[in-house]
Structure 1
Amino acid sequence: MDIQYRLEQKRKVLKDFPGPRSLELTARRAAAVAAGVASSVPVYVADADGGIIHDVDGNSFIDLGSGIAVTTVGASDAAVVGAVKEQVEHFTHTCFMVTPYEGYVAVAEKLNELTPGHHAKRTVLFNSGAEAVENAIKIARVATGRSAVVAFDHAYHGRTNLTMGLTAKAMPYKYGFGPFASEIYRAPMSYPFREENAQITGKEAAERAILTMSKQIGADQIAAIVIEPIQGEGGFIVPAEGFLPRLAEFAKENGIVFIADEVQSGFARTGEWFAVQHEGVVPDLITTAKGIAGGMPLSAVTGRAELLDAVHGGGLGGTYGGNPVACAAALAAIETMDSQDLRGRAREIEATVKERFGKLQAELGENGIIGEIRGRGAMLALEFVKRGSAQAKEPDAATTKAIADYCLKEGVIILTCGTYGNVIRLLPPLVINDELLNDGLDVLEAAIRAVA
């Protein structure tokens, strides 16, 4: 990659980490910010570029989280910064529902072009992934005249009332916030590492889910099936091959809207523009956010024209949806992804990580703590189990946290996830250079060895 970085791409952690300025801000935060907002890293950011984050005390961290898969093109990509500056000089807001503007239309055109399928498409823009998912369900209900919605075990779809209902994990996302929206049902997911029957195929796992839907709901009552092609917060679970295609086929056979939630997996993250493309699945609707706009708040629902056009005028929208500055950022970010071949870069990162940690897993042995290495592109995970539990695969959240803490103290930011809290996820910016990536992986490997 021919990328000119604004900041030096090296980590540096001072002895007094977290430093005095971060500690001062932590005290101010405690007096001003709601306690329900948690942060996994105890430092405050001053600057960020490429794969590095500088804090207010002069520490430099390797970023292997990308703000949860957002800063795919880096936190201050020159093209995104330039596009934002140019747009801000003209107008920051008018509300597309009042006085529309070209940027919104241009983003819709680009999403209609990039998303899977050659059918006629339409796009509507929002602010967050949860908004996109909620509106996709609104669209499906209007278009089908049905109300039931099916989500899956281990799913995460957002923090609004409806999307909390879709989300599987109670703590911290749902606990105490009910009651939730009605007519939401849950089907079993394909989770190859944790299947009771290790030989079950993706198609068989799909038939299991289909049986649940047919018996508990009735196919003719289902408006939508919503699924993450690679589950995010649930543990970066990649369903067995054949699972997604069979679900999409079932949906088509029964007039059900198949919604691919690509909020975390979209925009070059998995080595394709979208994760469903790995198995040739064409969803009816696809929701996107996170990596779409280089860090600016933007999300979208894109899909079959007849579905989106079924909604009455004024039924979709929002004051800030498709903000002009965010639209300018999105067009620049997508251009960077394309011109820098970040899909190819994601595949290179996958090869590096899987080869390296595959060797470490083999070295630690079948009774070691690395249960599985999985993922696609630069959306990768290591699932940790208690030592000696090769058959039981007992989750080990404590070890996972210890590894993350070790990495942070050495200047590497990594994120954990998973229904059982025992998964480390790797989401480096796709513009990270090899030297910085390998330095970060050196630290992660040392952390695993230290606790193993």
Structure 2
Amino acid sequence: MTTTETLIAAADAHSAHNYHPLPVVVATADGAWMTDVEGRRYLDLLAGYSALNFGHGHRRLVAAARAQLDRVTLTSRAFHHDRFAAFCTELAELCGMEMVLPMNTGVEAVETAVKTARKWGYRVKRVPAEMAKIVVAGGNFHGRTTTVISFSTDPEARADFGPYTPGFEIVPYGDLTAMREALTENTVAVLLEPIQGEAGVIVPPAGYLRAVRELTRERNVLFIADEIQSGLGRTGRTFACEHEGVVPDAYVLGKALGGGIVPVSAVVSSAAVLGVFGPGEHGSTFGGNPLACAVALEVIAMLRSGEYQARSAELGEHLHRELGGLLSAGKVTQVRGRGLWAGVDIDRRLGTGRQVSERLMDRRVLVKDTHGSTIRIAPPLVITKEDLDWGLDQLRAVLAT
């Protein structure tokens, strides 16, 4: 057996089978490239579901982490540490908000947003006890905790994990009429992805987010934008909401906030919203730890330059133009997305999304399938145009056979 086969066999024998990874074993990575245990190089067109917006091993981020490792990595929130105030201040400023509640993983931040909305509903909106409702969209992916899958419409994520948490109403994504009808006096929040990632990079109809923002403001309902995948430069703007000039009541952030080095997430909002929490009412041992704050501060500094947003916008326009050629040629049936983010529906006669991903792997390109015939393309924002074009050439070659 090869080293790859041996390691995969060991993983299959001793880890739960909750993932079905492509048969490649990564050993090292740099920028937009990964190298496996056999020395083969692969172009990464997934970027850790946008956790690696700045590529693998970005020198600024690694340097920030190394410097902090020599100082202090964890205190818990039982004490202050010298990176916390700067992290909260600068992240709030980046978002145009006032307060930050840091957590670790994206789904922890979503759970935090749910708790925030409910507490705000009871304390501020005066919704009767235990009656708070949150409206979400069908096709959503906000994580995999029990509460979050309770409002998922994906049978794979939801089946056999009940009983489910009540308090959510699901409406079709992009349907403003259904959204309007779902809002009641007991609705405390609307929780949406500005672009649905796991669903296949679904972009809502033009004007939808703006209309939801106006509607929630009229009805005294919080608008919470889950920008865990879509935020921090991925779509050509700092936040995907910016494409419609929308500022939500709260951002839910994660993935790229940790620079691909440590898990960092946060809910960022106003003092009127996050101010509902008192000591002991919510927390996290690792949330806002010094190492996380040091890396995230460097991420924020990099985003402030606007370089990565501009790069995503420019290369994203090129990406979608090239993918449009595949659409015209009849190789794919639909292309969606913004910036360096695309969902590509493969003509089913040419194979499933998984089969196309495997063929691309054989040609040293790594992508991820979703929902049968769709592949997602989301390269690190640091990818060069030449490397992106090479990756697209491999996709053309795969679809030509």
Q: TM-score, normalised by structure 1?
A: 0.84
Q: What amino acid is aligned across from residue 66 of structure 1 in structure 2?
A: A
CA distance in 2 between partners of 1:346 and 1:222 (Å): 36
Does the 8 Å CA contact 1:206/1:244 hold for their aligned counterparts? no
Give the equivalent residue in structure 2 for 1:412: 365
For residue 161 of structure 2, give the secondary structure of its aligned residue in structure 1.
coil
Partner of 1:206: 176
Deviation (angstroms), 1:361: 1.5
Q: Secondary structure at the match of 1:319?
A: coil
| Aligned partners of 2:94 and 2:300 also within 8 Å | no
Aligned to 1:441: 392
Code of the residue aligned with 1:71 in structure 2: it is L
Structure 1: runs of 5+ lacking an equivalent: 1-18, 191-204, 388-395
* 1:238 shift after superposition: 0.3
- Among 144, 168, 192, the residue aligned to 1:184: 168
Q: Does 1:137 align with 2:121?
A: no
The match for 1:362 is: 328
- Give the whole-Å Cα distance in 2 for the aligned partners of 1:266 and 1:272: 8
Matched, 1:48 2:32: no
Give the Å deviation of 1:206: 1.0
- Aligned position for 1:311: 277
Deviation at 1:386, TM superposition (A): 4.1
Partner of 2:221: 256
User: Is it true that 1:81 corresponds to 2:62 in the alignment?
Assistant: yes
- The amino acid across from 2:22 in the alignment is V
Further displaced range: 240-249 or 23-32? 23-32
Alignment of 1:322-341 (within 5 A): 322-339=288-305, 341=307
* 1:391-430 correspondence to structure 2 within 5 Å: 398-417=351-370, 420-430=371-381
Letter in 1 for 2:140: A
Cα distance in 1 for partners of 2:315, 2:155 equals: 32
- Identify if the C-alpha distance between structure 1 residues 153 and 385 changes in structure 2 by more than 3 Å, giving closer, same or farther: farther
Q: For 1:183, give the aligned amino acid.
A: G
1:401 CA drift (Å)? 2.2
**Can you list the C-alpha shifts for 1:278-311, whole angstroms capped at 9, x where unaligned?**
0011111110001112111000000121110012
- 1:382 and 2:382 correspond: no
Q: Give the structure 1 partner of residue 207 of structure 2.
A: 242
Q: Does the 8 Å CA contact 2:232/2:257 hold for their aligned counterparts?
A: yes
Deviation digits for residues 254-284 of structure 1 (CA, Å, limit 9, x no counterpart): 1111100000001000000000010011111
Q: How far apart are residue 385 of structure 1 and its match?
A: 4.4
- The whole-number CA distance in structure 2 between the counterparts of 1:264 and 1:408 is 23
- Per-residue deviation, 1:34: 1.7
Query: Would you say the 8 A contact 1:62–1:411 is kept in 2?
Result: yes
Match of 1:162 in 2: 147
Aligned positions of 1:31-180 closer than 5 A: 31-36=13-18, 38-95=19-76, 97-115=77-95, 117=96, 121-145=98-122, 146=127, 147-171=132-156, 173-180=157-164
Alpha-carbon shift at residue 359 of structure 1 (Å): 1.9
> Given the two structures, how large is their TM-score scaled by the length of structure 2?
0.94
* Partner amino acid, structure 2, of 1:401: R
In 2, the alpha carbon distance for the partners of 1:107 and 1:55 equals: 35
Aligned length: 392
Aligned to 2:12: 30
Task: Find the aligned partners of 2:391 and 2:161 in 1 and give their Cα distance.
Answer: 38
* C-alpha contact (below 8 Å) 1:157/1:166 kept by paired residues: no
* Gaps in structure 2 of 5+ consecutive residues: none
Verify the 8 A CA contact 1:156 1:166 in the aligned structure 2. Answer: no
Question: How far 1:160 moved relative to its partner?
Answer: 0.7
Identity of aligned residues (%): 33
